[in-house]
Protein backbone atom coordinates (compact mmCIF):
# COMPACT_ATOMS: atom_id res chain seq x y z
CA UNK A 1 0.00 0.00 0.00
CA UNK A 2 1.12 3.52 -0.75
CA UNK A 3 0.09 5.77 2.12
CA UNK A 4 0.61 9.01 3.97
CA UNK A 5 1.32 8.85 7.67
CA UNK A 6 1.39 11.63 10.23
CA UNK A 7 4.37 11.78 12.58
CA UNK A 8 3.24 11.66 16.20
CA UNK A 9 6.69 11.46 17.76
CA UNK A 10 10.33 11.39 16.63
CA UNK A 11 12.53 11.22 19.69
CA UNK A 12 16.12 10.34 20.47
CA UNK A 13 16.26 7.12 22.49
CA UNK A 14 20.03 6.65 22.49
CA UNK A 15 23.13 8.09 20.85
CA UNK A 16 22.04 8.85 17.26
CA UNK A 17 19.15 6.44 17.74
CA UNK A 18 15.57 7.52 17.22
CA UNK A 19 12.09 6.20 17.64
CA UNK A 20 9.54 7.45 15.13
CA UNK A 21 5.83 6.95 15.78
CA UNK A 22 3.44 7.34 12.84
CA UNK A 23 -0.34 7.49 12.69
CA UNK A 24 -1.27 5.11 9.88
CA UNK A 25 -4.19 2.78 10.59
CA UNK A 26 -3.73 0.61 7.49
CA UNK A 27 -0.13 -0.27 8.31
CA UNK A 28 -0.92 -0.70 12.01
CA UNK A 29 -3.64 -3.16 11.02
CA UNK A 30 -1.78 -5.11 8.35
CA UNK A 31 1.86 -5.24 9.48
CA UNK A 32 3.37 -8.52 10.62
CA UNK A 33 6.61 -8.76 12.60
CA UNK A 34 9.64 -8.77 10.31
CA UNK A 35 7.90 -6.76 7.60
CA UNK A 36 9.17 -3.31 6.71
CA UNK A 37 8.01 0.09 5.54
CA UNK A 38 9.74 1.98 2.71
CA UNK A 39 9.83 5.68 3.52
CA UNK A 40 10.57 8.60 1.22
CA UNK A 41 12.50 11.00 3.43
CA UNK A 42 12.87 13.83 0.91
CA UNK A 43 10.79 15.20 -1.92
CA UNK A 44 13.98 16.20 -3.71
CA UNK A 45 16.38 13.97 -5.60
CA UNK A 46 19.15 13.72 -3.03
CA UNK A 47 18.66 11.29 -1.46
CA UNK A 48 16.67 9.83 -4.30
CA UNK A 49 15.59 6.44 -3.02
CA UNK A 50 13.29 5.46 -0.19
CA UNK A 51 14.73 4.00 2.98
CA UNK A 52 13.53 0.66 4.40
CA UNK A 53 12.80 0.26 8.15
CA UNK A 54 11.46 -2.75 10.05
CA UNK A 55 8.21 -2.21 11.87
CA UNK A 56 9.22 -1.88 15.54
CA UNK A 57 5.87 -1.77 17.25
CA UNK A 58 2.17 -1.47 16.56
CA UNK A 59 -0.23 0.27 18.93
CA UNK A 60 -3.86 0.80 17.93
CA UNK A 61 -3.72 2.93 14.78
CA UNK A 62 -0.03 3.77 15.11
CA UNK A 63 3.17 2.03 14.20
CA UNK A 64 6.74 2.89 15.07
CA UNK A 65 10.22 2.35 13.71
CA UNK A 66 13.52 2.42 15.56
CA UNK A 67 16.50 3.69 13.60
CA UNK A 68 20.08 4.80 13.82
CA UNK A 69 21.43 7.77 11.87
CA UNK A 70 23.83 6.18 9.39
CA UNK A 71 23.73 8.54 6.42
CA UNK A 72 21.96 11.34 4.68
CA UNK A 73 18.53 9.66 4.53
CA UNK A 74 18.31 8.81 8.22
CA UNK A 75 19.82 12.19 9.11
CA UNK A 76 16.96 13.96 7.27
CA UNK A 77 14.44 11.63 8.90
CA UNK A 78 15.82 12.43 12.36
CA UNK A 79 15.01 16.12 11.83
CA UNK A 80 11.34 15.50 10.98
CA UNK A 81 8.90 16.97 13.44
CA UNK A 82 5.62 15.95 14.99
CA UNK A 83 2.74 16.83 12.65
CA UNK A 84 4.74 16.35 9.43
CA UNK A 85 3.60 13.71 6.96
CA UNK A 86 5.61 10.83 5.52
CA UNK A 87 5.15 9.08 2.17
CA UNK A 88 5.18 5.38 3.02
CA UNK A 89 5.03 2.10 1.08
CA UNK A 90 4.12 -0.85 3.22
CA UNK A 91 3.91 -3.14 4.95
CA UNK A 92 6.33 -4.96 2.63
CA UNK A 93 8.12 -8.30 2.51
CA UNK A 94 7.80 -11.63 4.27
CA UNK A 95 8.09 -11.45 8.05
CA UNK A 96 9.00 -14.00 10.70
CA UNK A 97 7.13 -17.29 10.47
CA UNK A 98 5.40 -17.83 13.80
CA UNK A 99 3.87 -21.10 12.63
CA UNK A 100 7.23 -22.75 13.26
CA UNK A 101 6.64 -22.29 17.00
CA UNK A 102 5.26 -25.81 17.32
CA UNK A 103 5.18 -28.26 20.20
CA UNK A 104 8.65 -29.63 19.49
CA UNK A 105 10.17 -26.24 20.32
CA UNK A 106 11.63 -25.68 23.79
CA UNK A 107 11.65 -21.88 23.75
CA UNK A 108 12.04 -18.92 21.40
CA UNK A 109 15.31 -17.06 21.54
CA UNK A 110 15.39 -13.58 20.05
CA UNK A 111 18.91 -12.37 19.30
CA UNK A 112 19.42 -8.68 18.52
CA UNK A 113 22.50 -6.80 17.43
CA UNK A 114 22.33 -3.00 17.67
CA UNK A 115 19.19 -1.52 16.11
CA UNK A 116 18.38 -5.03 14.81
CA UNK A 117 16.35 -5.18 18.01
CA UNK A 118 13.68 -3.10 16.25
CA UNK A 119 11.71 -5.91 14.61
CA UNK A 120 12.19 -8.32 17.54
CA UNK A 121 10.09 -6.33 19.98
CA UNK A 122 7.15 -6.51 17.58
CA UNK A 123 7.89 -10.23 17.21
CA UNK A 124 7.87 -10.82 20.99
CA UNK A 125 4.55 -8.99 21.30
CA UNK A 126 3.08 -11.04 18.45
CA UNK A 127 4.27 -14.34 19.91
CA UNK A 128 2.59 -13.44 23.20
CA UNK A 129 -0.56 -12.26 21.45
CA UNK A 130 -0.73 -15.57 19.57
CA UNK A 131 -1.30 -17.28 22.92
CA UNK A 132 1.97 -19.19 22.82
CA UNK A 133 3.02 -20.33 26.29
CA UNK A 134 6.63 -21.00 25.26
CA UNK A 135 9.26 -19.06 27.20
CA UNK A 136 10.90 -16.20 25.34
CA UNK A 137 14.58 -15.46 25.92
CA UNK A 138 15.85 -12.18 24.51
CA UNK A 139 19.55 -11.51 23.97
CA UNK A 140 20.51 -7.94 23.16
CA UNK A 141 24.00 -7.06 22.03
CA UNK A 142 25.67 -3.69 21.41
CA UNK A 143 29.04 -1.98 21.65
CA UNK A 144 28.32 -0.45 25.06
CA UNK A 145 25.67 0.17 27.68
CA UNK A 146 24.29 3.31 26.03
CA UNK A 147 23.55 1.48 22.80
CA UNK A 148 21.47 -1.25 24.42
CA UNK A 149 17.88 -0.57 23.37
CA UNK A 150 14.47 -1.88 24.46
CA UNK A 151 15.72 -3.91 27.44
CA UNK A 152 12.92 -2.63 29.65
CA UNK A 153 10.27 -3.10 26.97
CA UNK A 154 11.05 -6.82 26.74
CA UNK A 155 11.12 -7.22 30.52
CA UNK A 156 7.73 -5.55 30.77
CA UNK A 157 6.39 -8.19 28.39
CA UNK A 158 7.67 -10.84 30.77
CA UNK A 159 10.56 -12.03 28.63
CA UNK A 160 13.83 -13.13 30.17
CA UNK A 161 16.45 -10.65 28.94
CA UNK A 162 20.23 -11.02 28.82
CA UNK A 163 22.51 -8.30 27.58
CA UNK A 164 25.98 -8.40 26.02
CA UNK A 165 28.27 -5.45 25.45
CA UNK A 166 31.60 -5.49 23.67
CA UNK A 167 33.18 -3.23 26.28
CA UNK A 168 31.54 -4.96 29.22
CA UNK A 169 29.84 -1.81 30.58
CA UNK A 170 26.77 -3.91 31.25
CA UNK A 171 25.88 -7.59 31.14
CA UNK A 172 28.04 -10.19 29.49
CA UNK A 173 31.34 -8.86 28.14
CA UNK A 174 31.63 -10.01 24.56
CA UNK A 175 29.53 -10.61 21.48
CA UNK A 176 25.87 -11.50 21.67
CA UNK A 177 26.57 -14.60 19.57
CA UNK A 178 29.04 -15.77 22.24
CA UNK A 179 26.38 -15.14 24.88
CA UNK A 180 23.93 -17.24 22.87
CA UNK A 181 26.34 -20.15 22.71
CA UNK A 182 27.06 -19.86 26.44
CA UNK A 183 23.36 -20.09 27.27
CA UNK A 184 22.58 -23.02 24.99
CA UNK A 185 22.35 -26.37 26.63
CA UNK A 186 25.18 -28.57 25.37
CA UNK A 187 23.09 -31.69 26.08
CA UNK A 188 21.29 -33.35 23.20
CA UNK A 189 17.65 -32.66 23.95
CA UNK A 190 14.74 -33.69 21.77
CA UNK A 191 13.26 -30.19 21.91
CA UNK A 192 15.30 -27.41 20.34
CA UNK A 193 14.94 -23.68 20.64
CA UNK A 194 13.73 -21.64 17.68
CA UNK A 195 15.97 -18.65 17.16
CA UNK A 196 15.05 -15.33 15.55
CA UNK A 197 17.90 -12.94 14.83
CA UNK A 198 18.46 -9.51 13.39
CA UNK A 199 21.68 -7.57 13.36
CA UNK A 200 24.95 -7.04 11.47
CA UNK A 201 25.98 -9.66 8.93
CA UNK A 202 28.99 -10.79 11.00
CA UNK A 203 26.68 -11.55 13.91
CA UNK A 204 24.28 -13.49 11.70
CA UNK A 205 27.15 -15.50 10.20
CA UNK A 206 28.31 -16.54 13.67
CA UNK A 207 24.78 -17.50 14.66
CA UNK A 208 24.60 -19.55 11.48
CA UNK A 209 27.66 -21.54 12.59
CA UNK A 210 26.18 -22.05 16.06
CA UNK A 211 22.85 -23.16 14.58
CA UNK A 212 24.65 -25.87 12.60
CA UNK A 213 26.54 -27.10 15.67
CA UNK A 214 23.49 -27.15 17.94
CA UNK A 215 21.02 -28.04 15.20
CA UNK A 216 18.33 -25.50 15.83
CA UNK A 217 16.45 -23.58 13.17
CA UNK A 218 16.92 -19.89 12.93
CA UNK A 219 15.07 -17.16 11.05
CA UNK A 220 17.12 -14.07 10.30
CA UNK A 221 16.04 -10.67 9.07
CA UNK A 222 18.51 -9.17 6.60
CA UNK A 223 19.28 -5.50 6.17
CA UNK A 224 20.15 -4.94 2.51
CA UNK A 225 20.42 -1.86 0.33
CA UNK A 226 17.19 -1.62 -1.65
CA UNK A 227 15.90 0.47 -4.51
CA UNK A 228 12.25 -0.29 -5.31
CA UNK A 229 11.43 -2.31 -2.17
CA UNK A 230 8.67 -4.21 -3.98
CA UNK A 231 10.59 -6.86 -5.91
CA UNK A 232 10.91 -5.26 -9.34
CA UNK A 233 14.47 -3.96 -9.60
CA UNK A 234 16.37 -7.04 -8.36
CA UNK A 235 18.90 -4.78 -6.64
CA UNK A 236 18.75 -6.39 -3.17
CA UNK A 237 19.83 -9.84 -4.31
CA UNK A 238 20.53 -12.47 -1.65
CA UNK A 239 22.33 -15.68 -2.61
CA UNK A 240 20.47 -18.80 -1.46
CA UNK A 241 21.15 -22.51 -1.91
CA UNK A 242 19.52 -24.07 -4.98
CA UNK A 243 21.84 -26.54 -6.74
CA UNK A 244 24.10 -24.63 -6.47
CA UNK A 245 22.45 -21.25 -5.90
CA UNK A 246 19.98 -18.60 -7.04
CA UNK A 247 19.39 -15.01 -6.04
CA UNK A 248 16.30 -14.11 -4.05
CA UNK A 249 15.07 -10.62 -3.31
CA UNK A 250 15.55 -9.34 0.23
CA UNK A 251 12.58 -7.00 -0.22
CA UNK A 252 10.00 -9.42 -1.61
CA UNK A 253 11.14 -12.98 -0.76
CA UNK A 254 12.60 -11.72 2.56
CA UNK A 255 13.75 -9.80 4.50
CA UNK A 256 13.32 -12.84 6.79
CA UNK A 257 15.13 -15.95 5.59
CA UNK A 258 15.98 -19.34 7.07
CA UNK A 259 19.62 -19.09 8.04
CA UNK A 260 20.24 -22.52 6.54
CA UNK A 261 19.34 -21.41 3.02
CA UNK A 262 21.68 -18.42 2.89
CA UNK A 263 25.07 -18.39 1.19
CA UNK A 264 27.06 -15.45 2.54
CA UNK A 265 28.90 -13.40 -0.10
CA UNK B 1 -18.26 15.48 -17.07
CA UNK B 2 -20.40 17.68 -19.32
CA UNK B 3 -20.20 17.60 -23.07
CA UNK B 4 -18.29 20.82 -23.39
CA UNK B 5 -15.52 19.68 -21.05
CA UNK B 6 -15.34 16.37 -22.87
CA UNK B 7 -14.76 18.14 -26.16
CA UNK B 8 -11.94 20.06 -24.59
CA UNK B 9 -10.23 16.95 -23.28
CA UNK B 10 -6.91 16.77 -25.15
CA UNK B 11 -5.90 13.74 -27.17
CA UNK B 12 -2.92 11.95 -25.68
CA UNK B 13 -3.11 8.92 -27.95
CA UNK B 14 -0.02 8.23 -30.05
CA UNK B 15 0.70 5.78 -32.82
CA UNK B 16 4.09 4.26 -32.15
CA UNK B 17 5.16 2.39 -35.28
CA UNK B 18 1.69 0.91 -35.59
CA UNK B 19 1.14 0.35 -31.85
CA UNK B 20 -1.65 2.51 -30.53
CA UNK B 21 -0.80 3.88 -27.07
CA UNK B 22 -3.56 5.58 -25.04
CA UNK B 23 -0.92 8.01 -23.84
CA UNK B 24 2.81 8.41 -24.49
CA UNK B 25 3.91 7.33 -21.00
CA UNK B 26 5.40 3.85 -20.73
CA UNK B 27 7.52 2.14 -18.11
CA UNK B 28 11.13 1.32 -18.99
CA UNK B 29 12.69 -2.09 -19.24
CA UNK B 30 14.26 -3.47 -16.10
CA UNK B 31 12.46 -1.15 -13.72
CA UNK B 32 9.02 -2.70 -13.70
CA UNK B 33 9.72 -6.46 -13.72
CA UNK B 34 6.84 -8.17 -15.49
CA UNK B 35 4.21 -5.91 -13.98
CA UNK B 36 3.17 -8.14 -11.08
CA UNK B 37 4.75 -6.11 -8.29
CA UNK B 38 3.45 -2.73 -9.42
CA UNK B 39 -0.01 -4.05 -10.26
CA UNK B 40 -0.62 -4.04 -6.50
CA UNK B 41 0.22 -0.34 -6.32
CA UNK B 42 -1.05 1.30 -9.50
CA UNK B 43 -3.67 0.76 -12.19
CA UNK B 44 -1.62 -0.65 -15.06
CA UNK B 45 -4.42 0.13 -17.51
CA UNK B 46 -3.64 3.83 -17.14
CA UNK B 47 -0.15 3.39 -18.60
CA UNK B 48 0.61 3.98 -22.27
CA UNK B 49 2.53 0.72 -22.42
CA UNK B 50 4.89 -1.62 -20.62
CA UNK B 51 8.40 -2.50 -21.73
CA UNK B 52 9.33 -5.68 -19.87
CA UNK B 53 12.52 -6.62 -18.10
CA UNK B 54 14.89 -8.05 -20.74
CA UNK B 55 14.39 -11.72 -21.54
CA UNK B 56 17.14 -14.07 -22.71
CA UNK B 57 16.85 -17.56 -24.23
CA UNK B 58 18.01 -19.23 -21.02
CA UNK B 59 17.38 -17.94 -17.53
CA UNK B 60 20.20 -15.84 -16.04
CA UNK B 61 21.19 -15.67 -12.37
CA UNK B 62 22.44 -12.12 -12.57
CA UNK B 63 25.51 -10.55 -11.01
CA UNK B 64 26.93 -11.01 -7.55
CA UNK B 65 25.82 -8.35 -5.03
CA UNK B 66 26.30 -5.52 -4.23
CA UNK B 67 24.25 -4.63 -7.30
CA UNK B 68 23.00 -1.16 -6.48
CA UNK B 69 24.37 2.00 -4.97
CA UNK B 70 22.80 5.41 -4.66
CA UNK B 71 24.74 8.44 -5.91
CA UNK B 72 23.61 12.10 -5.89
CA UNK B 73 20.34 12.18 -7.86
CA UNK B 74 21.08 8.79 -9.37
CA UNK B 75 21.43 5.05 -8.95
CA UNK B 76 24.28 2.84 -10.04
CA UNK B 77 23.18 -0.68 -10.86
CA UNK B 78 24.74 -3.88 -11.99
CA UNK B 79 21.92 -6.41 -12.05
CA UNK B 80 23.32 -8.39 -14.98
CA UNK B 81 20.10 -9.28 -16.83
CA UNK B 82 18.77 -11.62 -14.13
CA UNK B 83 15.65 -13.11 -15.72
CA UNK B 84 13.59 -16.29 -15.89
CA UNK B 85 14.32 -17.07 -19.56
CA UNK B 86 11.93 -17.07 -22.51
CA UNK B 87 10.04 -20.31 -21.68
CA UNK B 88 9.15 -19.29 -18.13
CA UNK B 89 8.37 -15.78 -19.34
CA UNK B 90 5.78 -17.13 -21.77
CA UNK B 91 4.33 -19.69 -19.36
CA UNK B 92 4.45 -17.79 -16.08
CA UNK B 93 4.75 -14.05 -16.72
CA UNK B 94 2.98 -13.30 -20.00
CA UNK B 95 -0.46 -14.65 -18.93
CA UNK B 96 -0.52 -12.15 -16.06
CA UNK B 97 0.40 -9.21 -18.30
CA UNK B 98 -2.20 -10.19 -20.90
CA UNK B 99 -4.95 -9.74 -18.32
CA UNK B 100 -4.46 -6.02 -18.78
CA UNK B 101 -5.54 -3.99 -21.72
CA UNK B 102 -2.17 -2.46 -22.35
CA UNK B 103 0.37 -2.67 -25.18
CA UNK B 104 3.30 -4.86 -24.32
CA UNK B 105 6.77 -4.37 -25.73
CA UNK B 106 9.01 -7.27 -24.78
CA UNK B 107 12.68 -6.45 -24.29
CA UNK B 108 15.03 -9.18 -25.51
CA UNK B 109 18.77 -9.64 -25.09
CA UNK B 110 21.23 -12.16 -26.49
CA UNK B 111 24.89 -13.03 -26.86
CA UNK B 112 24.67 -13.21 -30.66
CA UNK B 113 22.46 -12.04 -33.50
CA UNK B 114 21.15 -15.61 -33.81
CA UNK B 115 19.88 -15.49 -30.23
CA UNK B 116 17.96 -12.28 -30.94
CA UNK B 117 16.47 -13.92 -34.04
CA UNK B 118 15.46 -17.00 -32.05
CA UNK B 119 13.80 -14.88 -29.34
CA UNK B 120 11.98 -12.78 -31.95
CA UNK B 121 10.67 -15.92 -33.67
CA UNK B 122 9.37 -17.38 -30.40
CA UNK B 123 7.70 -14.10 -29.39
CA UNK B 124 6.21 -13.73 -32.87
CA UNK B 125 3.88 -16.59 -31.93
CA UNK B 126 2.67 -14.78 -28.79
CA UNK B 127 0.25 -11.95 -28.29
CA UNK B 128 2.70 -9.09 -27.81
CA UNK B 129 2.67 -5.72 -29.54
CA UNK B 130 6.37 -5.10 -30.11
CA UNK B 131 9.96 -6.00 -29.37
CA UNK B 132 12.73 -3.91 -27.90
CA UNK B 133 16.20 -5.15 -28.80
CA UNK B 134 18.38 -4.48 -25.78
CA UNK B 135 21.73 -3.96 -27.49
CA UNK B 136 23.09 -1.86 -24.66
CA UNK B 137 23.15 -3.60 -21.27
CA UNK B 138 26.37 -2.31 -19.64
CA UNK B 139 26.48 -5.09 -17.03
CA UNK B 140 27.18 -8.27 -18.97
CA UNK B 141 30.30 -9.53 -20.71
CA UNK B 142 30.50 -9.28 -24.49
CA UNK B 143 32.74 -11.48 -26.62
CA UNK B 144 34.14 -8.48 -28.50
CA UNK B 145 34.22 -6.30 -25.36
CA UNK B 146 31.77 -3.87 -26.96
CA UNK B 147 28.02 -3.79 -26.51
CA UNK B 148 26.20 -4.34 -29.80
CA UNK B 149 24.96 -0.75 -29.60
CA UNK B 150 28.59 0.44 -29.51
CA UNK B 151 29.56 -1.48 -32.63
CA UNK B 152 27.80 -0.15 -35.76
CA UNK B 153 28.49 -3.36 -37.72
CA UNK B 154 27.03 -5.61 -35.00
CA UNK B 155 24.06 -3.31 -34.39
CA UNK B 156 23.29 -3.40 -38.11
CA UNK B 157 23.67 -7.17 -38.24
CA UNK B 158 21.35 -7.84 -35.29
CA UNK B 159 18.64 -5.44 -36.46
CA UNK B 160 18.63 -6.58 -40.08
CA UNK B 161 18.63 -10.29 -39.19
CA UNK B 162 15.75 -9.90 -36.73
CA UNK B 163 13.90 -7.65 -39.19
CA UNK B 164 13.84 -10.45 -41.76
CA UNK B 165 12.25 -12.87 -39.26
CA UNK B 166 9.53 -10.85 -37.56
CA UNK B 167 6.63 -8.60 -38.44
CA UNK B 168 6.46 -7.19 -34.91
CA UNK B 169 7.44 -3.54 -34.54
CA UNK B 170 11.14 -3.43 -33.59
CA UNK B 171 12.62 -0.85 -31.26
CA UNK B 172 16.33 -0.68 -30.59
CA UNK B 173 17.54 0.33 -27.12
CA UNK B 174 20.60 2.47 -27.70
CA UNK B 175 23.59 3.03 -25.45
CA UNK B 176 24.67 6.53 -24.45
CA UNK B 177 28.22 5.19 -24.09
CA UNK B 178 29.18 6.15 -27.66
CA UNK B 179 30.73 9.13 -29.39
CA UNK B 180 27.89 9.71 -31.83
CA UNK B 181 24.55 8.19 -30.88
CA UNK B 182 22.82 9.78 -33.88
CA UNK B 183 24.92 7.81 -36.37
CA UNK B 184 24.11 4.52 -34.58
CA UNK B 185 20.41 5.43 -34.63
CA UNK B 186 20.65 6.07 -38.40
CA UNK B 187 22.26 2.67 -38.93
CA UNK B 188 19.46 0.97 -36.98
CA UNK B 189 16.85 2.84 -39.03
CA UNK B 190 18.49 1.76 -42.29
CA UNK B 191 18.69 -1.84 -41.02
CA UNK B 192 14.92 -1.87 -40.61
CA UNK B 193 14.22 -0.73 -37.05
CA UNK B 194 10.74 0.75 -36.50
CA UNK B 195 11.89 2.94 -33.64
CA UNK B 196 14.69 3.64 -31.20
CA UNK B 197 14.64 3.81 -27.40
CA UNK B 198 17.20 6.04 -25.80
CA UNK B 199 19.04 5.98 -23.58
CA UNK B 200 20.19 2.98 -21.57
CA UNK B 201 22.34 3.69 -18.48
CA UNK B 202 25.69 5.45 -18.47
CA UNK B 203 28.69 3.34 -17.50
CA UNK B 204 29.84 4.63 -14.15
CA UNK B 205 31.38 3.63 -10.84
CA UNK B 206 31.80 4.40 -7.16
CA UNK B 207 34.65 3.59 -4.78
CA UNK B 208 34.74 2.99 -1.03
CA UNK B 209 37.75 5.06 -0.03
CA UNK B 210 38.20 3.23 3.28
CA UNK B 211 38.84 -0.12 1.62
CA UNK B 212 39.81 1.48 -1.72
CA UNK B 213 37.59 -1.10 -3.41
CA UNK B 214 34.83 -0.52 -5.95
CA UNK B 215 31.38 -0.52 -4.37
CA UNK B 216 29.80 -2.73 -7.02
CA UNK B 217 30.99 -6.31 -7.33
CA UNK B 218 31.43 -5.88 -11.08
CA UNK B 219 33.48 -2.69 -10.55
CA UNK B 220 31.37 -0.61 -12.95
CA UNK B 221 27.63 -0.34 -13.37
CA UNK B 222 25.05 1.76 -15.16
CA UNK B 223 23.95 5.17 -13.89
CA UNK B 224 20.30 6.17 -14.11
CA UNK B 225 18.00 8.75 -12.54
CA UNK B 226 17.67 12.55 -12.66
CA UNK B 227 21.48 12.86 -12.79
CA UNK B 228 21.49 11.70 -16.44
CA UNK B 229 18.38 13.49 -17.67
CA UNK B 230 19.99 16.49 -19.38
CA UNK B 231 22.40 14.24 -21.29
CA UNK B 232 19.67 11.81 -22.33
CA UNK B 233 17.60 14.78 -23.49
CA UNK B 234 20.46 16.12 -25.64
CA UNK B 235 20.81 12.68 -27.21
CA UNK B 236 17.10 12.47 -28.05
CA UNK B 237 17.41 15.90 -29.65
CA UNK B 238 20.39 14.79 -31.74
CA UNK B 239 18.77 11.55 -32.86
CA UNK B 240 15.49 13.26 -33.74
CA UNK B 241 17.32 15.49 -36.21
CA UNK B 242 18.56 12.52 -38.27
CA UNK B 243 15.92 9.77 -38.12
CA UNK B 244 12.31 9.55 -39.25
CA UNK B 245 11.35 6.56 -37.07
CA UNK B 246 9.75 7.27 -33.69
CA UNK B 247 11.85 7.78 -30.57
CA UNK B 248 11.06 6.48 -27.09
CA UNK B 249 12.77 8.93 -24.74
CA UNK B 250 14.23 7.45 -21.54
CA UNK B 251 16.59 8.84 -18.93
CA UNK B 252 15.83 10.23 -15.50
CA UNK B 253 12.26 11.37 -16.21
CA UNK B 254 10.61 12.15 -12.86
CA UNK B 255 7.93 14.73 -13.66
CA UNK B 256 5.53 15.76 -16.42
CA UNK B 257 7.83 18.69 -17.23
CA UNK B 258 10.75 16.29 -17.70
CA UNK B 259 8.55 14.17 -19.98
CA UNK B 260 7.46 17.23 -21.95
CA UNK B 261 11.08 18.24 -22.49
CA UNK B 262 11.74 14.86 -24.14
CA UNK B 263 8.58 15.13 -26.24
CA UNK B 264 9.45 18.63 -27.42
CA UNK B 265 12.99 17.40 -28.23
CA UNK B 266 11.45 14.74 -30.48
CA UNK B 267 10.34 11.72 -28.44
CA UNK B 268 6.98 10.34 -29.53
CA UNK B 269 6.72 8.36 -26.33
CA UNK B 270 8.69 8.35 -23.11
CA UNK B 271 9.46 5.68 -20.51
CA UNK B 272 9.84 5.97 -16.75
CA UNK B 273 12.62 3.95 -15.15
CA UNK B 274 14.20 4.97 -11.87
CA UNK B 275 11.16 7.17 -11.16
CA UNK B 276 9.12 4.01 -10.50
CA UNK B 277 11.39 3.14 -7.57
CA UNK B 278 11.10 6.56 -5.99
CA UNK B 279 7.34 6.82 -6.38
CA UNK B 280 5.29 3.99 -7.92
CA UNK B 281 2.75 6.65 -9.01
CA UNK B 282 5.31 8.57 -11.09
CA UNK B 283 4.04 7.38 -14.48
CA UNK B 284 0.37 8.02 -13.62
CA UNK B 285 1.18 11.49 -12.26
CA UNK B 286 3.08 12.25 -15.47
CA UNK B 287 0.07 11.29 -17.62
CA UNK B 288 -2.07 13.67 -15.56
CA UNK B 289 0.59 16.39 -15.66
CA UNK B 290 0.90 16.22 -19.45
CA UNK B 291 -2.89 16.46 -19.76
CA UNK B 292 -2.97 19.50 -17.44
CA UNK B 293 -0.22 21.17 -19.47
CA UNK B 294 -2.12 20.58 -22.71
CA UNK B 295 -5.36 21.95 -21.30
CA UNK B 296 -3.59 25.00 -19.90
CA UNK B 297 -1.78 25.68 -23.16
CA UNK B 298 -4.79 24.77 -25.33
CA UNK B 299 -3.01 21.96 -27.11
CA UNK B 300 -5.59 19.57 -28.47
CA UNK B 301 -3.33 16.77 -29.61
CA UNK B 302 -0.04 15.51 -28.20
CA UNK B 303 1.26 15.01 -31.75
CA UNK B 304 1.60 18.78 -32.10
CA UNK B 305 4.16 18.76 -29.34
CA UNK B 306 6.45 16.00 -30.61
CA UNK B 307 9.67 17.57 -31.90
CA UNK B 308 8.15 21.06 -31.58
CA UNK B 309 11.39 22.58 -30.27
CA UNK B 310 11.63 26.25 -31.20
CA UNK B 311 14.70 28.13 -32.33
CA UNK B 312 16.53 29.86 -29.42
CA UNK B 313 16.34 33.14 -31.39
CA UNK B 314 13.08 34.91 -31.81
Catalytic residue of the set B51, B137, B184, B227: B137
Query: Domain end: A66, A92, A118, which one?
Result: A92
CA distance A25 to B15: 44
Q: How far is A251 from chain B (nearest CA, A)?
A: 11
Query: Domain end: A36, A67, A92, which one?
Result: A92
Distances (CA, A) of A159 to A101, A126, A134, A204, B85: 16, 13, 10, 22, 49
Range of the domain at B12: 3-304
Q: Would you call B202 an interface residue with chain A, using a CB distance cutoff of 8 Å?
A: no
Chain B stretch 24-43, residues whose beta carbon is closer than 8 A to a beta carbon of chain A: 30-33, 36-38, 40-41
Q: Look at residue B4 in the predicted model and tell me its pLDDT.
A: 43
Range of the domain at A243: 224-265
Of B64, B73, B254, the CB nearest to A46: B73
Q: How far is B31 from chain A (nearest CA, A)?
A: 5
**Residue B311 counted as domain residue:** no
**Residue B285 counted as domain residue:** yes
Q: Do A45 and B79 touch (CB under 8 A)?
A: no
A107 and A214 fall within a common domain: yes
B39, pLDDT greater than 50: yes
Residue B137 is a catalytic residue: yes
**Residue B265 counted as domain residue:** yes
Q: pLDDT, tens digit, for every residue of A93-132?
A: 999 999 888 778 889 999 999 999 999 999 999 999 998 8
pLDDT band at A187 (very low <50, low <70, confident <90, very high): low
Q: Would you call B77 an interface residue with chain A, using a CB distance cutoff of 8 Å?
A: yes
Q: Do B276 and A228 touch (CB under 8 A)?
A: yes
Rounded to 5 degrees, what are φ and ψ at A105? -100, 135
Q: pLDDT, tens digit, for every residue of A161-173?
A: 999 999 999 999 9
A36 and A137 fall within a common domain: no
Query: Domain end: A75, A92, A109, which one?
Result: A92
Q: Do A45 and B73 touch (CB under 8 A)?
A: yes
Name, in order, each residue with C-beta under 8 angstroms of A112's C-beta and a sequence gap of 6 or more. A120, A138, A139, A140, A141, A150, A176, A197, A198, A199
Q: Look at residue B5 in the predicted model and tell me its pLDDT.
A: 44
CA distance B63 to B84: 14
Q: Which residues of chain B are within 8 Å of residue A229 when distances are taken between CB atoms?
A: 277
Looking at residues B154-164, what average pLDDT do you find? Answer: 96
A170 and A219 fall within a common domain: yes
**ipTM value:** 0.93
Q: Do B276 and A265 touch (CB under 8 A)?
A: no
A129 and A196 fall within a common domain: yes
Q: How many domains does chain B have?
A: 1
Q: Look at residue A235 in the predicted model and tell me its pLDDT.
A: 97
**Cα B190 off chain centre by:** 20
| Cβ–Cβ < 8 Å for B135, B199 | no
CATH number at residue B205: 3.20.20.70
A184 and A206 fall within a common domain: yes
Q: How many domains does chain A have?
A: 3
**Percent residues over pLDDT 70 in chain A:** 98
**Residue B55 counted as domain residue:** yes
CATH number at residue A235: 2.10.240.10
A152 and A213 fall within a common domain: yes
CATH number at residue A83: 2.40.30.10
Q: How far is A49 from chain B (nearest CA, A)?
A: 5
CA distance B233 to A229: 28
Chain A stretch 28-57, residues whose beta carbon is closer than 8 A to a beta carbon of chain B: 40, 45-50
Q: Look at residue B1 in the predicted model and tell me its pLDDT.
A: 40
Amino acid sequence: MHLDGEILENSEVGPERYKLVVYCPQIAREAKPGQFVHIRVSEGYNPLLRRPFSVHRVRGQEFSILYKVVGKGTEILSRKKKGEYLDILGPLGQGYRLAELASNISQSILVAGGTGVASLLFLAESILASGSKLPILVLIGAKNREEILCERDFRRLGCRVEVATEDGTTGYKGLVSQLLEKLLSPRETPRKPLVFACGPQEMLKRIGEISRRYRFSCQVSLEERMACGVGACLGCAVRVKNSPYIYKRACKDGPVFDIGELIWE
Amino acid sequence: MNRKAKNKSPNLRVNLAGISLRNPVMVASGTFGYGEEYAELIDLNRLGGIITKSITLKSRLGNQPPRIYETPSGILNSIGLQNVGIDSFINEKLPFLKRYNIPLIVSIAGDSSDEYVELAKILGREKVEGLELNLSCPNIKYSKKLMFAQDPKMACEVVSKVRKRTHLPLFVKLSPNVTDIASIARICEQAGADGVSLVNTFQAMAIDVESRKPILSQVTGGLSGPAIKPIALRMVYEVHRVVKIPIIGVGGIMTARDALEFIVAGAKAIAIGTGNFVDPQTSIKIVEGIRDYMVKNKIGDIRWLVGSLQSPKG
